[in-house]
A and B are shown apart, each in its own frame.
Chain A
């Protein structure tokens, strides 16, 4: 049981102040701007909720929202199971395990703006490794014209970039399982599936929740990597929420982009709230199991 002690606030105060500065103050500014028509920052007119009405009532926002939701669902459906599977494949405590982990972590270290360039050069039909193989099978280099193929490229790219994070998270949780659990399971003659279902998966709950949260939000708001692949095309087919916002900011539409930002932050709040709900549920479940 944790002790009830309000001096805890003194300990979290520096963190709260710092996040207030880089998080809360900018957020308040955005909320403020979202109610104004702004030509230059010193000259602005109150327009009330006009920007919100505009965004909500046009199909563009909802189309982006739908695309981002679909994208995140596909990304989660691929990366989470794949991450768990790979983490299960890594053996425990052998001398080359560290090496394998280091190799798997490498995609996380590439500067984000270089990731699209890397994949574009990989898919280049004249010089790229994949591009040349695909060209030999008669795949046309015109993939940018096809919505399905552009989606596939972005999804594979994102899987390459981020599955490693899921693997690292899951593997770290798996290493906390005491060896005696496995020995007991072996004595009982448990099948690999039973070991996974009753020993390994329960240990993964918390870490998986975090992995789902991070992967969901980061893919839902994908920006840096998605835009250069095909500039949101073909015909807006890969125009995701954050890509659209980025374009609006580049066009200096302060008011509408601020309103859009506030809407996105509301989505963020909803997701964070669902996350804490789920976390409390797991906690309650585990307290019940241990007592």
Chain B
């Protein structure tokens, strides 16, 4: 009896959770199509595309989208090339202090950004990279790099070790082996890593706030700037919806690889 009902219970559970996950998003999308501030020609509370038109016409918001995309891309371009050799080393070699180093990496991943805000701001001011997308991209390496190493080493560990040894017998050096053999094989892994870097970086707020006071504001901060004495909540929601579109497109195009992201990787 229970056994026969099991698939239905599972389907119901899944649908309920799906509804729970989407409910706030539905609310958000609904508000984003409603005029919430009196504007010429549109009554408050009526359906409108005006909020989305405002995003396109506002230069601040447009540049915020550009900044967000720029810093996430820079972050991925720093994180992935640095993480690949490190993941390879953790996966294949045993070296002096490897366990301790991995421990340190984990510790930095779980260090709350708010703990490091002040010195990071000072350090980056001294380096002259505050108020620029490069500063945010660098700061986000704090949590993206450890997680990238962890994901990638899972993918590398899934490749049989014999392959390395054959390549070395054929006279390949380690870096050349990584470049010609390993990279093509872990390509899905690199895509998944890039996706998770995007996901953790795109939505982060603490570093983004302290590192951009005048210039280089990402979307999250541009949204913050919209709150004021008279907040156009419709516009706020429209910007939020728009900010989720790149991620949603990525998730959808990655959907078949996402589940392969966390192979049972262990040190």
Nearest A residue to B255 by beta-carbon distance?
A98
Given A14, A16, A102, A268, which contacts B251 in the complex, CB threshold below 8 Å?
A102
Given B122, B141, B236, B267, which contacts A18 in the complex, CB threshold below 8 Å?
B141
Q: Decide if A268 touches B110 in the complex (CB within 8 Å).
A: yes
Q: Decide if B259 touches A172 in the complex (CB within 8 Å).
A: yes
Q: Decide if A29 touches B262 in the complex (CB within 8 Å).
A: no
The stretch from A49-57, A141-149, A256-264 touching chain B is A256-264
Interface string of B203-233 (1 = CB under 8 A from A): 1111000000000000110011000000001
Q: Decide if B119 touches A25 in the complex (CB within 8 Å).
A: yes
Residue B71 at the A interface, CB < 8 A? Answer: no
Residue B22 at the A interface, CB < 8 A? Answer: yes
A:146-190 near B, CB below 8 Å: 160, 163-164, 167-169, 171-173, 175-176
A:250-287 near B, CB below 8 Å: 254, 257-258, 261, 264-265, 268-269, 271-273, 275-276, 279, 282-283
Q: Decide if A160 touches B21 in the complex (CB within 8 Å).
A: yes
Nearest B residue to A171 by beta-carbon distance?
B259
Can you spell out 20 A-B residue pairs with CB atoms less than 8 angstroms apart? A5-B93, A7-B93, A8-B93, A9-B89, A11-B86, A15-B145, A26-B119, A29-B118, A33-B119, A90-B14, A98-B256, A98-B258, A107-B24, A111-B220, A119-B24, A121-B233, A168-B262, A172-B259, A206-B265, A224-B205
Residue B78 at the A interface, CB < 8 A? Answer: yes
The stretch from A59-67, A70-78, A122-130, A229-237 touching chain B is A122-130
Residue B56 at the A interface, CB < 8 A? Answer: no
Q: Which residues of A contact B13 (CB under 8 A)?
A: 85-86, 89
Q: Decide if A160 touches B20 in the complex (CB within 8 Å).
A: yes
Q: Which range contains the number of B residues in contact with the other chain?
A: 35 or more
Known: A114-B220, A129-B27. 15 other contacts (CB 8 A): A22-B141, A22-B142, A91-B10, A104-B21, A109-B202, A167-B17, A168-B258, A172-B259, A172-B263, A242-B112, A249-B117, A264-B112, A272-B106, A272-B107, A283-B266
Q: Which residues of A contact B247 (CB under 8 A)?
A: 106, 108-109
Q: Decide if A112 touches B103 in the complex (CB within 8 Å).
A: no
Docked pose: A171 CA to B224 CA in angstroms: 35
Given A22, A210, A249, which contacts B118 in the complex, CB threshold below 8 Å?
A249
Docked pose: A82 CA to B88 CA in angstroms: 34
Contacts A89-B13, A118-B28, A122-B24: A9 and B258 contacting too (C-beta < 8 A)? no
Nearest B residue to A216 by beta-carbon distance?
B110
Q: Decide if B123 touches A29 in the complex (CB within 8 Å).
A: yes
Nearest B residue to A225 by beta-carbon distance?
B205
Docked pose: A15 CA to B256 CA in angstroms: 29
> Chain B interface (Cβ within 8 Å of chain A)?
3, 6, 10-11, 13-14, 17-18, 20-28, 31, 78, 82-83, 85-86, 88-90, 92-96, 98-99, 101-108, 110-112, 114-120, 122-123, 138-139, 141-142, 145-146, 149-150, 174, 199, 202-206, 219-220, 223-224, 233, 236-237, 240, 243-244, 247-248, 251-252, 255-256, 258-267
Q: Decide if B259 touches A175 in the complex (CB within 8 Å).
A: yes
Nearest B residue to A220 by beta-carbon distance?
B112
